[in-house]
Copies of this chain bind each other. A is one copy, B any other.
Amino acid sequence: MQKPYIFQTLQKFLTENRERETREYCHSLHPEDLAALLPDLPTEEQLRLLGIIGHDAAADALSRCTSDDQDRIAAMLQDSELAAIITAMPSDDRVDLFKRLAAERGEKLLGLMAQTEREDIRKLGSYKEGTAGSIMSSEYANLTPELTVQQALEKLRLEAPDKETIYYVYVIDRERRLLGFISLRKLITSRANAQVNDIMLTNPVFARADDDQEEVAAKLNRYDLLAMPVINGNEALAGIVTFDDIQDVMIEETTEDFHRMGGLAHKASPDLANINMLDAGWWLLVSKRLPWLLVLVFMNIFSGAGIAYFEDTIQAAVALVFFLPLLIDSGGNAGSQAATLMVRALATGKAQLKDWFALLRKEICISASLGLCMGLAVSCIGIFRAGPEIAVVVALTMVCTVLFGSLVGMSLPFVLSKLKMDPATASAPLITSIADIGGVLIYFSIATWVLRDMIAAAG
């Protein structure tokens, strides 16, 4: 890690008031490295540094800070300074910052900005969170079809500094409708007098502004694209989504899936997905964790009721209770495994909804095999601990609970998907609780039947 060295150098320049060196040094750094150490400087030094390095570099660094740091720094900057920095920020990052500002300050800042930026912020800000529109950038490179390669290259050369990328260029007509796509690689390897129209690819892969960002991510990955054009309701090109934004989306969406699988909030919670654990507030975490825990407590009452129903059986053979955690947990564990496999396979396209029946048949074979192996293992413990009769009960129960748990765990993600819910809501804790209810009923039903003579004698 170079961070301590960069930090010390920068602080030295700042304390010695060497403004020119500070500026030059910061410009030589990757904006990401500057963004990483900015929050570690004392507050007044942060503001001074942003002033010294100029609006463009300040915008680069600020757009790479975390939301919290951005908000904190924005709150300290003067309106004119902040407006200038925001103007220089990439269009997708600045609209995210804008959405978090208080309405009053936002309006004040808009008043200080040029009309183009104002309209851009209003337009990009109007798309719903989680859609392609909400993550796209409006700074895409575009060409008209009648240009020659030489003219196109000249245009890109001039516009390069203001564009998110010039490696993928979109060809549009007067109404901004998407006609085709051309890569810079194709442009620089084509004859100078060839026409864009003749060398562009027609039918480019595109997304619609209201497409789910997760689908957009999957498409961009599938076709290995650097960027994908986004079309609005009028069929006009509205922006592009780039691979680096998609990587952030992938991480966020996967974190949400993890959280759901762990029995945290079942709704999408970007607030929980993007926050640093040390910064996450007490109430945020409690409010995300408590609801499911309470739901599961009430589900577990059914397991308890099952046990209560079989109180006579338990009184007659208390040794049965020894095997209770082992049997019901095994069902839950096998179920968690099956659910995890399916949730992730559905998310990555390695399983399809239509394959449910085929996968169910497969799961029956697999979980029966697992159940038999485990039944064999526990029957040994059963004989040693409580005699052959209880060993039979325990082994039979193991096969049935592992089958039951696995089939529930494997099917629930599909059912949730069909109900338009996130398959990851089939969390390990939920599967465990369902498997527990089933396990208790299976165990004591089998026990009551096999041990009926013993129970009758005790009664």
Contact = CB atoms under 8 A, between A and B. Distances in A.
A258 B340 contact: yes
A3 interface: no
A301 B381 contact: yes
A195 interface: no
B362 A330 contact: no
Copies of the protein in its oligomer: 2
A206 to B, nearest CB: 12
Interface in A424-449: 427-429, 432-433, 436, 440
B341 A262 contact: yes
Interface residues of A, number: 107
A262 B340 contact: yes
A127 interface: no
A330 B297 contact: yes
A137 interface: no
B359 A277 contact: yes
A161 B226 CA distance: 18
Contact of A348 (B246, B255, B337, B355): B255
Given A318-B315, A324-B304, A329-B433, A262 B336 contact: yes
A326 interface: yes
B261 A261 contact: yes
Nearest to A386: B308
A333 B278 contact: no
Contacts of A189: 157, 160-161
A57 B285 CA distance: 52
Given A286-B369, A289-B337, A223 B30 contact: yes
A300 B226 CA distance: 50
Nearest to A260: B340
Interface in A255-299: 255, 257-259, 261-264, 274-278, 282, 285-286, 289-290, 292-294, 296-297
A223 to B, nearest CB: 5
Contact of A258 (B261, B358, B433): B261
A458 interface: no
Given A275-B350, A370-B293, A429-B428, A166 B153 contact: no
Interface stretch (A17-25, A44-52, A113-121, A372-380): A372-380
A289 to B, nearest CB: 5
Contacts of A450: none
Interface in A151-188: 153, 156-157, 160-161, 166-167, 184-185, 188
A205 B342 CA distance: 38
11 contacts: A167-B167, A258-B340, A258-B344, A262-B336, A262-B428, A292-B337, A293-B337, A293-B374, A294-B374, A301-B381, A329-B432
Given A153-B188, A304-B323, 14 more contacts: A166-B185, A167-B167, A184-B188, A221-B244, A243-B243, A254-B254, A259-B340, A262-B341, A277-B351, A289-B366, A290-B373, A292-B337, A300-B330, A336-B428
